[in-house]
Structure 1
Amino acid sequence: MQALPSPDELDGLVAVTSRLRAGIESVVTGRPELVRVSLAVLLAEGHLLLEDVPGVGKTTLAKAIARSIDAPVGRIQFTPDLLPSDLTGVSIFRAQTHEFEFRPGPVFAHVVIGDEINRASPKTQSALLECMQEAQATVDGRTYPLPRPFLVVATQNPVEMEGTYPLPEAQRDRFMARLTVGYPSVDAEIAMLDQQETADPLERLRPGTDAAEVGRLIDVARRLYAAPGLKRYVVDLVAASRQDPGLRLGASPRAAIQLLRAAKALAAMGGRNHVLPDDVQELAVPVLAHRLLPSTESRLSGRATQDVVSDIVARTPVPSLDAPARVRRALG
């Protein structure tokens, strides 16, 4: 069993994430919880899907996350004519050397921004599947590893909008969390107008960390303690989604793994070396809802999968956890 993170390691993680949050929130005003969950996805080594109508700041948030990390960034503007090779890269024959030379695509970066991912065809969308799940890309029969950490931040417009293709279930399942940006409050929108009246706040944003440090913090977050009762709680939530009459497709085992990882990252950002049910509850909707398919009755009644997950959380018994002695000692 891995050793728990030391107090110094947790303090370092909290300091870095606080710095990142402050920088991103200087660009994305009035949405602190959105930024907090986004950073939890980064520390959990997941991928993030931002969904909402145009103009509410999806791409701005994605750019702010990318700019906060001093690392190579790949940008993909998804369009109907985009090809899979435009993402992963191509092999070009060099007449001088009589050899093929691989030219990597934009996925070969630590942070990849996929703008309007549901504007591309399903074939191109699926080109990201291997990259997101296995951190590698296969081109012309050769497999190339992707850098670590590897984070895809994709944006999409609501499926009902013209010119969009719904993401396949397998593709949605690769995203650790889906977040809705939403409209800002009146005060936040006024502050945004003041901020952007003379300059773009993105231009003033400076990196708060680098890729190597993010990789170390990911390892720290994974070493947090999760009690057997808490793991059972995660499994109970996922299992309940498979039996809910409002759903025709429940959450996968991958969803349970990613929910626990995200909860560990959120707990680490709070300076704790163990996970609480509160961490799981806060992340249940963003981590589970986009993986589920509603039943016909739910669709006709206008009941969203987010509502179904909230109901499951409300009726699933919360375990009573007692931290073991080694966790109490680590806490001092």
Structure 2
Amino acid sequence: MSDVARLAGVSAQTVSRVSNGSPGVIEATRQQVIAAMNELGYRPNSAARALKRGSFRTIGVILFTLSTTGNVRTLEAIAARAAEEDYAITLIPVAAPTQAGVRGAFSRLNELAVDGIIVIMEVHLLDAATVSLPPGVHAVVVDSDASESYSVIDTDQADGARKAVEHLLDLGHSTVWHVAGPSESFASERRVNAWRSVLADRGCVEPALLRGDWSAESGYQAGLALASSDCTAVFAANDQMALGVLRAFHEKGVRVPQDVSIVGFDDIPDSTSFSPPLTTVHQDFAEVGRRCVDKVLKQMRENSTEPGLDLVPTRLVVRASTSAHVVAPRN
């Protein structure tokens, strides 16, 4: 800074004001200082500036995997919204989906320069008895039911599942089969519970539940089992498993939607290119990411914690994989 001040012919205090974007520096002087910075290759010391203002302008994001559509699209939205607020993000991956792995990720926060964190993981790994936040770090949790202890942002999983099942029943199907996600997933269990609740409310028989792991292959295996059953309507807990079900039905000669109607969940970009295009529940991952950043910044600015649940609405997108069920007349 002293070198820049000498070259520009100004005081070190003026250089400081220019580097911090402070007002009160005439434009000609500002340009003179910037030219000197560029000539000398000067860059402000971000660590020193952070210590001075007590803020690193960085948000940590803790998550398990980038292999799922939801995590990738939520992280993309978090990064975009953070950049709009002039914040960077630091990705803190969890080495293993265990309590020890989670504790390791949280302990790293003490070593990293972050002002707040966004946690994308399942609630069963946020046991308050074994995992605690570092003092003074504000946090928002995605996809969890830990709203008594944390500020939680989530898609309205239950309402989305209800819309899917009600749509199929309204088309005249007597019941709906469900290909669920993993039992340890909060989102999966919310969708399972909503599926059961709608069937019970409508007085429908509840078919046997099929479990997948979010992958198209697990949906394919479920589809092979369903192809030999008397099902006419299937609600898959995500679009990838719905894709697997479609493949299995095609191989077994089961027509969609003439024989069986299928609804997915997520509304991934490729769902319009499925054969047939997939009816699905749209999740607004971009809105989830934006709300996460806004919420954690609000906590940081107000030095507050806000336990509670903030749900992002879903909407049903009807395409060609569902149609009215017509009972063929008996001979």
State the TM bucket, normalised to the shorter chain. Answer: under 0.3
Bigger helix share: 1
Radius of gyration: which is bigger? 2
- Asked which structure has the greater RCO (Cα within 8 Å, sep 6+), the reply is 1
TM-score w.r.t. length of structure 2: 0.24
